[in-house]
Amino acid sequence: MNLSMLNKIKEFMSNQVEETTPKKAKKKKDADQSVDTALQQELETLKLELDESKDKYLRLFAEFDNFKKRSVKERFELMKTAAQETLTALLPILDDFDRAKKSADTGAESFSEGVALVYQKLFSTLEHKGLKAMESTGVDFDPEFHEAITDIPAPTEDMKGKVIDTIEKGYTLNDKIIRYAKVVVAK
């Protein structure tokens, strides 16, 4: 081969390299852009998933916190009224004591000092546990606290709608009604 032919081949090859290099660079640039776009989309997706996870976490944490508060409140309420059944069972005994005391006050029978002390000790112990008797005679009738057994004509105009007599006392345990007062109302 002669020198001129070698120069022509060399020139042809360098032209070919120059022509193919920009094409390859463009293809590489396009590929890099598509990879960047794909990575950005994946980043966006991951950010959305992270935001959703944070939101779920915060909601779950708040729900758990509310559950703990509700459990503590329910436990406290349960402890306050744990003896409600026992105290409710003792109410008829208090009623019997009250009737015996009334009977002794009218003079029909005597109410010994020892029995009075036992009654007072029982009643003060129950009060200490949160039991309170409701005063209902002479107050306005309130269906939230009273159970009307009967109604009678009012002896005076100002007694209308008021409780005339209490048949059975009502009681509260830590401000929760455990027995409604059974009363006679003036109409």
Q: Give me the residue label for tokens 């003060």.
A: 124
pLDDT band at 1, cuts 50/70/90?
low
Q: Indicate if 69 and 28 belong to the same structural domain.
A: yes
Q: Residues 28-55: pLDDT tens digits?
A: 667 778 878 888 999 999 999 999 999 9
% of the chain exceeding 90 in pLDDT = 40
Pair 106, 72 in one domain: no
Residues 145 and 73 in one domain: no
User: Final residue of a domain: which of 80, 97, 125?
Assistant: 80
The pLDDT confidence band at residue 3, using thresholds 50, 70 and 90, is low
Q: Are residues 95 and 33 in the same domain?
A: no
Predicted pLDDT at 2: 62
SS3 sequence of 34-99 = HHHHHHHHHHHHHHHHHHHHHHHHHHHHHHHHHHHHHHHHHHHHHHHCCCHHHHHHHHHHHHHHHH
Shared domain for 49 and 93, answered yes or no, is: no
> Which structure tokens are listed for 88?
């409710």
Within 13 Å of residue 23, how many CA atoms lie on the same side as its CB?
6
Q: Are residues 96 and 145 in the same domain?
A: yes
Q: How far apart are alpha carbons 95 and 7 in whole angstroms?
A: 129
Query: Which of 80, 113, 145 is the endpoint of a domain?
Result: 80
Does residue 26 share a domain with residue 46? yes
Same domain, 109 and 178: yes
Q: If pLDDT is split at 50, 70 and 90, which confidence band does 102 have? A: confident
- Dist. CA 142–CA 139, nearest whole Å: 9
- How far, in Å, CA of 180 to CA of 137, rounded? 13
Q: What is the pTM of this model?
A: 0.57
Give the structural domain span for 107: 84-186
Question: In b/e form, how buried is each residue of 99-117, taking b as 16+ CB within 10 angstroms?
Answer: eeeeeeeeeeeeeeeeeee
* Average pLDDT for 78-100: 85
Residues in the chain: 187
Stretch 157-172: mean pLDDT, rounded?
90
In total, how many domains does the chain have? 2
Where a domain ends, among 80, 115, 135? Answer: 80
Residues 6+ apart with CB under 8 A from 100: 109, 111, 115
Bridge partners of 140, per DSSP, are: 162
Mean model confidence pLDDT for the chain = 84
CA torsion sign for 145, 147, 153, 155 is: negative
